[in-house]
Amino acid sequence: MRQAVYAPQGVVATSQPLAAQAGLAMLREGGSAVDAAVAAAVTLTQVQPGSNDIGGDLFALVWDGKQLHGLNASGRAPAALSLAALTAAGHPPNDALGGGQARAELAPPARGWLPVTVPGAPAGWQDLHARFGRLPFERLFADAVHYAEQGWTVSPTVARRWAASVEIHRELARPECRDWAAVFAPEGRAPQVGELFRNPGAGRALRLIGGSHADSFYRGEIAHALAAYAADTGGLLTAADLAEHTSTWVEPVSTDYRGHTVYEIPPNGQGVAALQALALLDGLPRHGLHEQIEAMKLGFADAHAYVADPAAYPMPDLLDPAYLAARRALIGDRAGDPPPGDPMKGGTVYLAAADADGMMVSLIQSTYQGFGSFVVLPEYGFGLQNRGAGFSLDPAHPNVAAPGKRPFHTIIPGFLFRDGAPLGPFGVMGGHMQPQGHLQLVLATVDEGLGPQEALTRPRWYWHTERQVEVEPEFDPALIEDLRARGHEVTVATDRGTFGMGQAIWRIPGGYVAGSEPRADGQAAAY
């Protein structure tokens, strides 16, 4: 078990030690928590490939000492992406598929060019720095460039997931995926634990992004190379799509739970699922594991039905007290499979950073599924996310694929307040696990009084679909039997990859206390 890390001035917690150290170096040089977070995020693109990359997306929450700010740095669909284009490519709307179609057919394909949306991470780094940074933007890229060009030694969790991605790539006979192996499996395999890995093309890209304040990525050399590669290999992404990209500063959404307030980024992210589950539980005089799982199911049911790009579909109020009361009434003694309600009537990395002035950052970035689309830009060494796979092919769904639209996103940064004062940033990455991880970490903190490291170390549960629940091997057998007696189909998992990876930093009178995910290679680095 890892011990909590206490820091008098600042701390950076990430899922890979080299990235934590990169962020810590910025704090030592007088940089802000945002400088540290951006440096760590940029470094993670190199030292945790597969989970994130230069061609990914980003969301962040920043406490500046007086106010909490939200940044949505996710990208939008190319102007040429439409249901007609997907149909022409062999992916018709789901109302044309007939009965019995597999769930996978209700979304665009997961690999290749079709699920690629405009990458938002480089713009997100620049926008965060422009508002809250102190050090020169280019300085934040130094460690990442060094590891890309000079190499870094591969850590155990990264190596294991990398090897699994190599096997996935072997099955992809797409021209736009051909260059992935040259960059990420040059020996015909994934690098092994402790092996030195270099990616000089990525170093070139990072130098260009840092030196141009990300302009090269959206309007300069990299943008032109991306557009040309897409045109040559059948992609829909154009220079105009890249040039028109902007991040969006947003107002965080929140709910109260037992004297605490939990903040999330509003849609197009799924943070509202965690908030709804917490709000449902807050209205119960007491709750156990069964009620927690049922509340999470209700949150997911509504999130999957209603979360979409708010510019295209205004979000209904899923946290309205009257609506929550109606949904709460559905939590009974037996495992259920709830449908969405009707509110109209009533592959990711997470990091946290904090500095001596009280600024705290909750940041998450991702290429989505392992190595995203498997589309890699030759000579620039980075892959593109596949967030477009989060769109729906249902013409009547709020999240239906459309030009210039942001898709449903799984990645969510969290922030916790206690009695109206900021406690700190937290997050748990891992697709469908993320709202469940947020829920479990908050409950462990608030209900059990655990510190950040203890809360992250607790055995986790994961609701998959219908009545299927997975738990970690250390889970209390009595709780497992109680769930089974209530109709849950419980499996004790052997692969911990299902349960996500998190970080958390809490403000304390003497500075900060931080925890880092024991299921990953990470570190909380103190200053």
Residues in contact with 98: Cβ distance below 8 Å, sequence separation at least 6, in sequence order: none
**CA angle (410 as vertex; 472, 90 as ends), nearest 5:** 110
In single-letter form, the type of residue at position 241 comes to D
Q: What's the CA gap between 488 and 467, in Å, rounded?
A: 5
CB atoms within 10 A of CB 88: 10
Residue whose token pair is 């051909």? 178
Q: What's the CA gap between 413 and 431, in Å, rounded?
A: 12
Torsion angle defined by CA atoms of residues 139, 141, 142 and 143, in that order, rounded to the nearest 10 degrees? 130
CB atoms within 10 A of CB 306: 22
Torsion angle defined by CA atoms of residues 204, 208, 210 and 213, in that order, rounded to the nearest 10 degrees? -160
Q: What's the CA gap between 283 and 383, in Å, rounded?
A: 44
Pull the structure tokens for residue 244: 């028109």
Cβ 118 vs Cβ 9: under 8 Å: no
Q: What's the CA gap between 471 and 480, in Å, rounded?
A: 8
Closest by alpha carbon to 351, among 426, 301, 295? 426
Q: What is the DSSP letter of 52?
A: B
Closest by alpha carbon to 96, among 87, 109, 85, 107? 87
In single-letter form, the type of residue at position 472 comes to E
Q: What is the DSSP letter of 4?
A: P
The SS3 call for residue 53 is coil
Q: What's the CA gap between 98 and 105, in Å, rounded?
A: 11
Q: What is the DSSP letter of 384?
A: B
Handedness of CA 384, 313, 440, 23 (dihedral sign): positive
Q: What is the DSSP letter of 392?
A: B
336 φ, ψ to 5°?
-120, 175
Catalytic residues: 348
Q: What's the CA gap between 294 and 309, in Å, rounded?
A: 26
Closest by alpha carbon to 525, among 24, 1, 16? 24
Cβ 433 vs Cβ 499: under 8 Å: yes
359 φ, ψ to 5°?
-70, 135
Q: What's the CA gap between 112 and 114, in Å, rounded?
A: 6
